[in-house]
Each structure stands twice: as structure tokens, then as C-alpha cells.
Structure 1
Amino acid sequence: MPDTPSNLVLLVHRDTEGAHRSETTLFPPESLPEGDVLVRILRSGINYKDALAVTGKSPILRRFPMIPGIDLVGEVVASENPDWSPGDAVILTGHGVGETRHGAFAQYTRLPGAWLVPCPVSLTPDGAMLLGTAGLTAMLCVMALEAGGLKPDGGTEILVTGPTGGVGGWAVVLLKQLGYQVCAATGRLEHESYLRRLGADSIIHRQELTASNKPLDTQRWLGAIDVAGGKTLAGLLKFIHYNGTVAACGLADEPGLPATVFPFILRNVRLQGVDSVHIDRETRATAWKRLAEGIPSALFATFQERTVGLSGIPQACRELLEGRVRGRVLVDPFLDA
């Protein structure tokens, strides 16, 4: 495996008091993790987990200094893995990249070939990372609803929380494209026109999900995709139809679940957890294939807020955690070069 070329990265340090500091710097090739594929990173995206990692709001990074960034699309530069050849377009998500090993906020990285999946030919680098881990997670949630027996059913809606974010937004798009009616629950009603463009049929304030003190309430939604956890997830469970399925994939509100068992034992509701970090390669490839085939190209522009270089990542991360980002911020690691 040849040495990595000159490699500009975003490196996060932690001081003795636990505060995080970021710098854009050249990174020595010998410090990159082991891997049998050398990849030139074309795009990454800023996910909620990346924002927590860069700002230090949550202990995402497990060692320091560390290059964050949990997903990427790139071009194979060199390979010792028979599955990949120079010039191949590849996608990496999960596997602890950007958490336990150096991540995607860099110009080059080395990765195990077994972690990579092909980038569908219909996806540009921008398109692949407008989807990124968020789009992959949204598709896995849709697949979880399907596995629970849900099908498009006339006027019965599927609820989506966090629809102005990456996972929730793509969930709205995917469900609508598959023929479902979609209800978006948000605390940001000023973005109603944006949510309508994504495909939301109805929009409610998320406080409606937690206003009821009843252990069960009116059956309102056939299923749900939830990114919030906590009281939001506990609240929406009260409104799910008999035999409904809820896909839970996040903890944007909190990790706890102050719920009762009544939705499960009286309405046969299924709560399905969704993980995008450790899923098998075949499932990843299937999800990416469905993403490439299932989203109209015009919607990608709707989803993109802006593209930043490595130096612009810390500010974008702060804005994301403050609720000031709508859609996806992409990272072009060569923009600062």
C-alpha cells in the first residue's frame, strides 16, 4: 500500500479539563489507521453525531487527537483487496469510523475493504452524502416498518419526528415516494413549506405527542419513525394503531424511555430498534440501491443547505446543535486546499 499523499484533516484535541479544540492541519500518513484500501475522500456530510463529536457535547470520540466524520464517499486510489480497484467509487458509513478510529473529515484515509459498499452509478458524490448516514438510517427505518408488515394504506399516516433534520427529512421523502401518507412532527413550524416540499401531508407541533397523560390515546398513526427518544417516543407510542410498528433510531431529545407497556400488550405495537453502524454489508448495499432508485433527483437540491471546507466544520456543527440547520451540510475536504 503506497503512502498517503499530503493529507489535510480536521483534528480534534481535548484539553485536561475536557474541552474540545479543532484545527485544520496536515496529517502524517503513518498515523492513519490500518486498512487494505486507500481512498481519496470526495465528500462527507455533517451528521448530528459529528456535531456532538466536534463540539464535545457528548463523548463520541474515544481517543485524542482524533479526526471525526462518520461517513464518506470517495475514489479508490490503491487497493490490496480483490473486491476493489483504483477508480472505484465507494461509500463508507459506520464501523466506528469517526468515533474509535480516524474518520472522514480528511482528504485521504485507509479503510478495510470489507467495510465499503459500491456507490450506485446514479448517485453523484454530492447526492451520496446528501443521503449519507442520515439517508441510510432513514431507509433502514423504512425497511423496519416493512418488516413489521406495514404497507401504504389509503389515508392512514406514518408519523416522522425530527423532519427538519437529516434522518427525519429523508424518512419523509422515502415514505412519500413509496406511497405512504406522512405526518411530520416538529418544533419548528416555520419550516412548514419546506416539509411540504419533502412530501409531508400534515404537520403537527411535537408538543402534541407529549400533551396526553393517558396511558393510551386515540389510534392515530399506522406506524412511526422516531429520532428523538425520551418523552417524544413514549408519547407517540400511545397513538399507534393496533399492529403498528415504530422504528426508533435516535436520542435527539434524550436516551430514556418513560413509557408504559400498554401499547405493546393492548395494541400489539412493535418497537423496532434501528442501527446503522454495525449492520451487515449485504443490508447496506441493498439499502443504498433502494436509495439510489427511490428518490427523484430534484429533491436533492431541496435537501442541501451548503457545502463547507474542513475549516468550516466547527461552526456548522455548532449551528446544527443550536437547531439552525435545515437539511444537510456537506463537506468538501479539498475546498480549503
Structure 2
Amino acid sequence: MFQALWIDKQDGQQTTTLRTVDEAQLPEGDVTVRVAWSTLNYKDGLALTGTSPVVRRFPMVPGIDFAGTVEASSHPRWKAGDAVVLNGWGVGETHWGGLAGRARVKGDWLVPLPAAFTPRQAMGIGTAGYTAALCVLALERHGVQPSQGPVVVTGAAGGVGSVAVALLARRGFEVAAVTGRPQEAEFLTRLGAAQVLDRAPLAAPGRPLEKERWAGAVDVAGGQLLANVCAAMKYRGVVTACGLAAGMNLPATVAPFILRGVTLAGIDSVMAPLPERLQAWDLLARDLDPTLLDSLIQEVPLADAPALAPQLLAGQVRGRIVVKVD
């Protein structure tokens, strides 16, 4: 028996409760993991509040991330005692997730816990930080270098943004951090931001092309903010898009793409293949200072996680929320 957050839906009404679950109820999978830590991402906030139809099967145990120890395995890559991490793969959406004391999943979905991190720190990174690493890797794969000019990061005080700022600064980039919370300027500067920009001007309707400002971008917002970022890219600049915090629409023109050769690279963390996941976690292990990582973390017990979901969606959470499960 173990504790789990439990999302159910009856007569169109969604409920989230903390309940005791029998291990025999776990879904199919070839690896059973004792979960030590999980976390809250934007998608978890949507699931816990029912704001968006993230959960597609009921009842559901939410949590798109977890870190823990293998208890039983019939998968050739894993044995009892292995420390593992999971991000994405539909866990917490169509397959029971990590906000529970146990998880049973496919072994192909797991990656080894990097030696540089404790399970708590790995969840301080979570899908948000792993997505940030995928963005940094994509920028570099498309040829963006520090000598070409600054890189802008939107939603910089949030989970993806804060890790992106830290990684880019560590790799020698001049980082412009965009936030709607000016009180976080000192925090962002400590992460490595060279300048902190107010979100409001960048979120207002703009022109098809703006003055060239940035060589690269990590965008978590979408909407008008992403359109304006694209419009202000330097020639052959690269924008990585990984979120929709400001909306799913993109009120942009093709001008940046056909007149400046701008690349808009979509970043999917859910179904990313194993080699990219391993590369992202290797980057995090090499370039993310564990001491700095600890400053990003807010720790809560499992029972308190649902209450933080509305704050997360409202952009009122700095850094990362980690959930102590075991």
C-alpha cells in the first residue's frame, strides 16, 4: 500500500484527493519504482486543476516526473536498486504518474539518475529543466554561438526559464531574461542573466519586423510574446519554442523567416528519443551547479501539492517545486 494523489471525474466534475492505493492496482509495465521525489510542472498544474484536458483517462495518478529506486524489473536495462529518473512519455496523462509512492512503467521510459545529482535535485530539474537543456542543445545544434550576440529567455523566473538562464550563462552566452515579475531581477542576475527585461512591452502587439536584437531565444510563452521575439531576431537567429504559458496562438508574419532566415525550432520533451534525453541530462550534470540548483527549489509534502497548482499556473512560483513522496 502507498499514498497517491488521485484524480477522478464523475458527471463532468473533477476531484483530486490523497488516498491509499494497493500496489496491485498499478498499471502494466516491466519496471516497478519506489518513488522518492516528484515535482510540479505547468502541465501538472493543468492536470490538478482540470483547467485543460491534460488527463485523458480516469482515475489518474498525476505527475509527469519522478525519481526513485527500482524495486522490481523484467527489463534488460534495469535491476532492483538502480536509481532512475522519468520525464514525460504520457505519464500523468494516460499512464499513472509520479505523485505516488510507487510507479510501474516501461523500462524504455527511464534514464539513469546522473551521479552529479541526488533524487531531490533531479526533481528540482524535472521536465522543466530537462526541457531547458533540450532548448540549449537545439540552439547549439543550429549553430548559435556566444560570439553572435545575446540570447533571450522568456518566462525566465519559472522552471524552464530559470534553468535555461543558468545553463546558457554557464556556457558563455549573454542572457537577456524576460519576466513579468520585476522583484525577481536579483534572483535572475544571480542565475547569470546579463540583463532583466520587463515582459509587458514584449507582450504588446508589435511590428512584423523589429530591430535585430537576439541571436537565439528560449520561449516558454507562445502567443504575442513569441511573435515579437521572432520579429526581433538577428539574421539567421534561432528560436526554440517549448511552451504556451501566454497562449497557443502565434499572431506573427512570415517576414522574420523569409527576410532574415530565422529558424523556429519546436522542442518536444514528452516523446524525445533516448539519445537526446541522455544528452540533455549529461549537459545538466556538467553545467548546472548543484548549489545553484538548491536555490531554485521549494519543497512540499505530497498532500500540499494540489494547493500550489493554481499559483503555478498564475506564474507566481519562482524556480521549481519538488514534492517529497517517500
Alignment TM-score > 0.5, same fold? yes
Give the partner amino acid of 1:132: G
Q: CA separation in 2, counterparts of 1:147 and 1:282?
A: 14
Could you say if the C-alpha distance between residues 74 and 230 of structure 1 is closer, same or farther in structure 2, counting changes exceeding 3 Å? Answer: same
Match of 1:330 in 2: 322
Asked whether 1:20 is paired with 2:14, we answer yes
**Gapped runs of 5+ residues in structure 2?**
none
Alpha-carbon offset, residue 298 of structure 1: 1.6
Q: CA separation in 1, counterparts of 2:282 and 2:114?
A: 7
Give the partner amino acid of 2:185: E
User: Which of 87, 90, 93 in structure 1 is aligned with 2:84?
Assistant: 90
Which aligned runs of 4 or more in structure 1 are off by greater than 6 angstroms?
A: none
Q: CA separation in 1, counterparts of 2:137 and 2:315?
A: 28
| Contact in 2 for aligned 1:36/1:81 (Cα 8 Å) | yes
The SS at the match of 1:153 is: helix
The SS at the match of 2:147 is: coil
Give the partner amino acid of 2:9: R
Asked whether 1:77 is paired with 2:92, we answer no
Asked whether 1:139 is paired with 2:128, we answer no
Give the partner amino acid of 2:37: R
The SS at the match of 2:76 is: coil
Q: CA separation in 1, counterparts of 2:280 and 2:197?
A: 29
Q: CA separation in 1, counterparts of 2:22 and 2:223?
A: 42
Match of 1:151 in 2: 145
| Contact in 1 for aligned 2:167/2:287 (Cα 8 Å) | yes
**Gapped runs of 5+ residues in structure 1?**
1-5
Q: CA separation in 2, counterparts of 1:321 and 1:314?
A: 12
TM-score (norm: length of structure 1) = 0.94
Give the partner amino acid of 1:203: V
Give the partner amino acid of 1:99: E
The SS at the match of 2:52 is: coil
| Contact in 2 for aligned 1:11/1:65 (Cα 8 Å) | yes
Match of 1:10 in 2: 5
Could you say if the C-alpha distance between residues 10 and 212 of structure 1 is closer, same or farther in structure 2, counting changes exceeding 3 Å? Answer: closer
Q: CA separation in 2, counterparts of 1:311 and 1:20?
A: 17
| Contact in 1 for aligned 2:215/2:234 (Cα 8 Å) | yes
Root-mean-square deviation (Å): 1.1
- Equivalent pairs counted in the alignment come to 326
Alpha-carbon offset, residue 211 of structure 1: 4.0
Q: CA separation in 1, counterparts of 2:113 and 2:307?
A: 29
The SS at the match of 2:114 is: coil
| Contact in 2 for aligned 1:19/1:56 (Cα 8 Å) | no
Alpha-carbon offset, residue 13 of structure 1: 1.6
Asked whether 1:167 is paired with 2:160, we answer yes
TM-score (norm: length of structure 2) = 0.98
> Percent identity of the aligned residues?
47
Alpha-carbon offset, residue 210 of structure 1: 3.6
Q: CA separation in 1, counterparts of 2:77 and 2:59?
A: 31
Asked whether 1:110 is paired with 2:110, we answer no
Q: CA separation in 2, counterparts of 1:191 and 1:15?
A: 41
Alpha-carbon offset, residue 28 of structure 1: 2.3
Q: Deviations over 1:5-47 (max 9, x none)?
A: x12100012231x332111111122321111111000111100
